[in-house]
């Protein structure tokens, strides 16, 4: 193949070696698609021992050809194959083909999103995508947002912005300038007891602690109980506490349940609170004319998390946080002489670091641009509809069979269920399936072990679902 070039250049020989490197990599990837199991089944200790044997930092490099061959032989067979129709445990999806190509472009150019001079076209495309997304989710011209590394970071950015907004509006206090107000420890955030743990993490990082997160009881469909929400807010106010923010979940991690944002908005307005929607999972419904209404009107919220590496099937990582008002993200603006000078703005340059927690940041917007352009809304609708309808089918099979319990009717594409034989039987089924290369999820409900299918893969058919149900029954 020739010596591995240090960097790609215009030199003809270097170009040819690079082309071969990419072609050989693509060939290795394509060969691995012949295996449809989700995981090789190799025992955890054996895998660790074998991979440790590959070593760390050799004194002398082996060149790309040998390195790729080692990766193909020793690592790739034991990577998780997200495209497998035998993989359905998590909100973790196979990647759309065109976005794998986007990753190559992103990595090759390596533009950075912090300042215009580090990513001229990249900055403009990210801005275009944000403006389009803001409209897609129903916000007006005052809205804005930024790409982040995932749902956790989007939620964190939104809650930090919500805290700063609340302190300014209701306590006449500028957190960015002065740090935390003296009553800070009294602030409380409200979210469903089945919401994502990133809310707890955020409150820890913000110096409020887990105890500041008020877990709202849920109804039989795993949605926030609105009456109890208001009762808790009132009680907290009576106790001298300060409710500052609520988070509605649009697609809870296990059940895919969707909170009522309109009802939560009414309560937030009544008590002057910020409302964030964690639509990390359910945001994909925006593409489906059939199921979009299940999401509710997210433009009622002050901020929304949209994760593209879940229902939208984009490679990790790719997420955005949108704000109803641009001014809400001003808390992240900070000017540095070396990067985003104030005069840049007057000269028409946009430095996206102004609205982001991160500084150096990937050009993930290209993946959204390329997939939207390649497939259009129609193409995405068909992917989302398939996922929702597969979950409906799976649920209908479970409730028709006395061997299973399935306590929550799916609203999106995840189904939580169990065989009736008790916790140990359910745990064993998951482990036995894993040994056979089928990976399904495990969670709990009301203290009982439950199994979970998260159906994101558009290649899944009713036939696959029937087969896995049969296999589960055989393993009881
Ligand atoms: C509802 C919900 N919110 C947030 C997250 C965190 O997203 P990420 O893993 O992209 O940080 C998840 C992850 O599964 C989730 O299910």
341 and 199, same domain (yes or no): yes
Q: Is residue 327 domain-resident?
A: yes
The closest residue, in CA terms, to atom 5 on ligand 1 is 151
Q: Is the dihedral of CA 123, 126, 132, 138 positive or negative?
A: negative
Domain encompassing residue 398: 375-474
- What's 308's DSSP letter? T
- DSSP 8-state secondary structure symbol assigned to residue 313: -
The first and second tokens of residue 6, run together, are 């240090």
Give me the percent of the chain exceeding a pLDDT of 90.
93
Are residues 338 and 363 both part of a single domain? yes
Which two tokens mark 155?
A: 């939620």
Cβ–ligand 1 distance for 257 under 6 Å, the answer no
At 32 the pLDDT is 94
Q: Do 464 and 407 share a structural domain? A: yes
**Would you place residue 344 in the very low, low, confident or very high pLDDT band (cuts 50, 70, 90)?**
confident
Nearest CA to ligand 1 atom 7: 151
DSSP state, residue 111: -
Burial degree of 442 (CB within 10 A; 0-12, 13-18, 19+): middle
What is the rounded distance in angstroms from the CA atom of residue 245 to the CA atom of residue 162? 7
pLDDT at 398: 97
Per-residue pLDDT band for 345 (boundaries 50, 70, 90) equals confident
Strands laid side by side in the 319-323 sheet: 144-148, 319-323, 303-307, 274-279, 242-249, 187-192, 213-216
pLDDT in tens, 93-114: 999 999 999 999 999 999 999 9
Q: How confident is the model at residue 340 (pLDDT cuts 50, 70, 90)?
A: confident
Q: Are 190 and 233 in contact (CB under 8 A)?
A: yes
> Could you tell me how many helices (H) and strands (E) the chain has, helices first?
14, 11
Does 337 share its domain with 198?
Answer: yes
Is residue 95 in some structural domain?
no
- 309 and 451 in a common domain: no
DSSP 378-406: HHHHHHHHHHHHHHHHHHHHHHT-TTEE-
Residue 151, ligand 1, Cβ within 6 A = yes
What is the structure's pLDDT at 346? 85
Q: Nearest Cα to 406, choosing from 472, 327, 338?
A: 472
- Cα gap 197→189, rounded to integer Å: 13
* DSSP 8-state assignment for residue 126: H
Q: What is the pLDDT of residue 342?
A: 84
Confidence at residue 343, expressed as pLDDT on a 0 to 100 scale: 86
pLDDT of residue 309: 98
Judge if 162 and 277 occupy the same domain.
yes
Contact of 364 with 147, CB cutoff 8 Å: yes
Quote the CA–CA distance of 149 and 311 in Å, as a whole number. 16
Is the minimum distance from the CB of 154 to ligand 1 under 6 angstroms? no
Note whether residue 93 is domain-resident.
no
CA pair distance 340, 470, nearest whole angstrom: 59
Judgement on whether residues 317 and 186 belong to the same structural domain of the protein:
yes
- φ and ψ at residue 460, rounded to 5 degrees: -70, 135
Q: Which atom of ligand 1 is nearest to the CA of 278?
A: 3
Domain-located, residue 308: yes
156-208 pLDDT, tens digit each: 999 999 999 999 999 999 999 999 999 999 999 999 999 999 999 999 999 99
Please report which confidence band the pLDDT of residue 279 belongs to, taking 50, 70 and 90 as the band edges: very high
User: Residue 418 belongs to a domain with what CATH number?
Assistant: 3.90.1150.10
Query: How much is the CA Rg of the chain, to the nearest whole Å?
Result: 24
Closest alpha carbon to 405 in 391, 390, 415 = 415
pLDDT in tens, 239-249: 999 999 999 99
Number of domains present in the structure of the chain: 3
- Best residue for ligand 1 mutational test, from 147, 149, 152, 194 (most atoms within 8 Å of Cβ): 152
What's the predicted TM-score (pTM) here?
A: 0.97
Task: Report the nearest-CA residue for atom 4 of ligand 1.
Answer: 151
Q: Is there a domain that residue 83 lies in?
A: no
Q: Please indicate, yes or no, whether residues 352 and 434 belong to a single structural domain of this protein.
A: no
If you average pLDDT over every residue of the chain, what do you get?
A: 96
Same-domain check for residues 45 and 73: yes
Q: Is residue 97, in this structure, part of any structural domain at all?
A: no
Pairing status of strand 144-148 against strand 213-216: unpaired
Residue at a domain's end among 304, 339, 370: 370
Q: Is the CB of residue 278 below 6 angstroms from any atom belonging to ligand 1?
A: yes
| C-beta 276 within 6 A of ligand 1 | no
Question: Comparing C-alpha atoms, which of 466, 282, 309, 286 is closest to residue 390?
Answer: 466
Give which of 84, 69, 79 is closest to 34, Cα–Cα.
Answer: 84
Say yes or no: CB of residue 281 within 6 Å of ligand 1: yes
What DSSP letter does each residue of 19-45 carry, written as one string?
HHHHHHHHHHHHHHTT--SSS----HH
- Pocket flag, ligand 1, residue 452 (CB < 6 Å): no
Confidence check: pLDDT of 397 > 80: yes
Q: Is 253 in the pocket of ligand 1 (CB under 6 A)?
A: yes
Six token digits for residue 22: 């990419």
The answer to whether residues 126 and 173 touch, using CB atoms and an 8 Å cutoff, is no
CA distance 275 to 26: 45
Measure CA 374 to chain center: 21
Same domain, 356 and 414: no
């Amino acid at each position: 193949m020739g010596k591995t070039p240090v960097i790609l250049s215009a030199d003809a020989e270097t170009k040819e070696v690079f082309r071969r490197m990419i072609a050989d990599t693509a060939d290795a990837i394509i060969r691995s698609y012949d295996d449809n199991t989700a995981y090789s089944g190799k025992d955890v200790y054996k895998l660790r021992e074998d991979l440790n044997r590959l070593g760390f930092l050799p004194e002398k490099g082996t060149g790309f050809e040998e390195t790729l061959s080692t990766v193909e032989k020793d690592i790739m067979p034991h990577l998780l194959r997200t495209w497998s129709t035998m993989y359905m445990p998590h909100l973790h999806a196979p990647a759309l083909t065109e976005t794998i190509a986007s990753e190559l472009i992103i990595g090759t150019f390596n533009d950075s999103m912090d300042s215009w001079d580090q990513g001229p076209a990249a900055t403009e495309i990210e801005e275009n995508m944000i403006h389009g997304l803001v409209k897609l989710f129903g916000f007006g011209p005052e809205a804005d947002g930024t790409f982040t590394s995932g749902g956790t970071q989007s939620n964190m950015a939104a809650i930090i912005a919500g805290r700063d907004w609340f302190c300014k509006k209701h306590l006449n206090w500028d957190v960015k300038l002065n740090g935390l107000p003296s009553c800070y420890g009294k602030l409380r955030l409200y979210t469903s007891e089945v919401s994502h743990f990133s809310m707890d993490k955020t409150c820890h990082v913000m110096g409020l602690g887990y105890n500041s997160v008020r877990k709202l009881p849920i109804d039989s469909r795993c949605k926030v109980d609105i009456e109890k929400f208001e009762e808790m807010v009132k009680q907290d106010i009576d106790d001298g506490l300060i409710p500052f923010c609520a988070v509605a979940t649009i697609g809870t991690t296990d059940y895919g349940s969707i909170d009522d944002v309109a009802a939560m908005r009414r309560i937030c307005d009544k008590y002057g609170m910020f409302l964030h929607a964690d639509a990390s999972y359910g945001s994909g419904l925006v593409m489906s004319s059939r199921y979009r209404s299940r999401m509710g009107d997210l433009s009622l919220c002050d901020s929304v998390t949209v994760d593209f590496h879940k229902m939208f099937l984009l490679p990790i990582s790719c997420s955005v946080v949108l704000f109803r008002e641009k001014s809400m993200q001003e808390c992240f603006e900070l000017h540095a002489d070396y990067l985003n000078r104030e005069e840049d703005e007057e000269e028409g340059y946009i430095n996206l670091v102004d609205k982001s927690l991160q500084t150096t940041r990937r050009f993930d917007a290209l993946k959204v641009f390329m997939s939207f352009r390649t497939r259009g809304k129609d193409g995405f609708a068909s992917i989302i509809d398939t996922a929702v309808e597969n979950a409906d089918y799976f649920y209908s099979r479970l409730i028709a069979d006395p061997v299973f319990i399935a306590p929550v009717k799916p609203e999106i594409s995840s189904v939580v269920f169990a065989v009736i034989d008790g916790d140990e039987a359910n745990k064993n089924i998951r482990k036995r399936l894993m040994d056979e290369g089928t990976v399904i999820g495990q969670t709990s409900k009301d203290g009982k072990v439950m199994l979970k299918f998260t159906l994101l893969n558009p290649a899944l058919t009713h036939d696959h679902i029937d087969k896995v149900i049969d296999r589960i029954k055989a393993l009881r």
